[in-house]
């Protein structure tokens, strides 16, 4: 092996090896997606389930300029009260 070939081999082995830029982009994108999913899951825990806060109505049709009749009747199978608004078409 010539002296020039040996020095070239030493220079190449001492240079830092860089990752492929596409691989780095893929890793960052994967980390961002995982973070988005985890934060989204944690943030929606209060919404999911039978939370009374989300089961109550806050707005009424009159708040939006609509005239509505409130209808209520028990269900046939388990007699739970069913309540709804009837809004007639214009």
E strand or H helix at 18: none
Which range is least confidently modeled, 4-8, 28-32, 51-55, 81-85? 51-55
Residue in this structure with the two tokens 């780095």, named with its chain if needed = 24
> Does the pLDDT value for residue 14 go beyond 90?
no
Longest dimension (CA), the chain: 97
Radius of gyration of the chain (CA): 32
> Does the pLDDT value for residue 46 go beyond 80?
no
Which tokens go with 43? 């943030």
Q: What predicted TM-score, i.e. pTM, was given to this entire model?
A: 0.37
Confidence class for position 67, pLDDT limits 50, 70, 90: very high
Q: Where are the domains of the chain?
A: 1-56, 58-90
Computed over every residue of the chain, the mean pLDDT equals: 82
Identify the CA nearest to 67 among candidates 88, 38, 83, 84: 88
pLDDT of residue 29: 96
- Across residues 37-57, what is the average pLDDT? 74
């Amino acid at each position: 092996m010539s002296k020039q070939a040996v020095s070239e081999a030493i220079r190449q082995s001492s240079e830092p090896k860089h990752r492929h830029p596409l691989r780095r982009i893929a890793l960052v994108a994967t980390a961002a997606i995982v973070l988005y999913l985890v934060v989204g899951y944690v943030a929606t825990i209060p919404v999911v389930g039978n939370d009374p806060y989300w089961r109550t109505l806050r707005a009424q049709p009159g708040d939006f300029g609509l005239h509505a009749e409130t209808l209520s009747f028990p269900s046939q199978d388990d007699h739970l009260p069913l309540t709804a608004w009837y809004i007639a078409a214009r």
